[in-house]
A and B are shown apart, each in its own frame.
Chain A
């Protein structure tokens, strides 16, 4: 899985490309783990390049929610395609994870951090 990384003033954006399943999610897991080990706790995932996500992909995000929250950081997801958003909804994860629509909303989520 290709994952583009962009560093902003106060957060890092990861843009994975392709299906996020039990096979490909390992790469994203390693990338987030790497950021956290570098004390980067403000992370934005641009999901617009993910046409399909299984529970393995969801598992990557929720496994870090508690750790990121405990460190005072923030995990924000944006650009979720309809099918992917539906999977979050099926499990009620849309209530636990910060999900926004566009770039301007992402920036405002990290304002003042």
Chain B
């Protein structure tokens, strides 16, 4: 009798026993279906869901650089992160959850040697372009960081995909368009076109549209005649973006003081042991100074916009010169977008703030005099519209065609620069080209180097009001190249 009741009793006990917490679920999904190209940036989507409160650490090693983030999850909460990382054949992810052993998960990427064409077509059609490797994508494959679009050389998408994108995906796509990404839109709806057209950089030469896939691909093929407009690099700006030598005078001064003190000691100190103390003390003081000195951070922001564009694309370089051998931590600037180490081949440990989903700091292995730099990029709206008209006799008229007054700036033409006065909306200034002077500073030299041949340039210094934590030694400029007079 009792034996007969045992089995139903066990079953009942199991049914009413408190359910044990299931192990947290961790999903790591590479963007763009895992497709990328060597030495490009891609994105790993991270989803962690736990039924019970937990905390943990997630790390992704990509070549010499690694990203790490610490997170805490409440019961039933899901962590969603989209982490931009350098591409590689295999990325090594490590998940450490409280009370569980560390779990290593390799993430395999498909690296294409040929240019990649991403085809995100909700219609299910397939896209082919000569010389490109086509990859079929769905809306969910598109990245949420604009920098991850570096994996693609061209993207063709249709209205259905555009509508299926979430806010962050749409912002990333707009960022891709603003950074002169090659995009073909299959849509007959002008509304869909306007979403990207307003932000597209490079004079919208990289953005094409067609009512059908064939038409869009044909226009994309034609646009390949236009060279890809790369972002401004530090090398393009010459001395402007060069790291300063702030540490050098300090070391020179410290060694000069030591040699002066040693020379005086040689003359005035009779005791040999006391004489030996001078270099020993100097060594200790110098070693302490190298670790105590605060590295000076420098920020350079360079923005460019077409004469009538509504967005400007910027690149920024935050540089620090190392003072001691060891770890140097650089906190990222909150007001600037897409922070990353400028040198992707340099060893660095990136710390991601899981709450904000943003990079918080980067640790470098630094040495004295060795510069380390973080790069930023992004777009911001501009309200300046200008027209340059040749009015004969070596004169040009620069007209403010925008709705806001413009501050004083610099006008560049023919290898010379001259002051451009502040202009009210609709106002114009007449400038004589022969009255220009040679460039006096690194900013105007950089702007002249980027001024189109036989064209003009307009340069304004910018206030970094939105970058609250910008270093004192920060400078920003907005450059508007004008290919030809109207």
Query: Does B associate with A?
Result: no
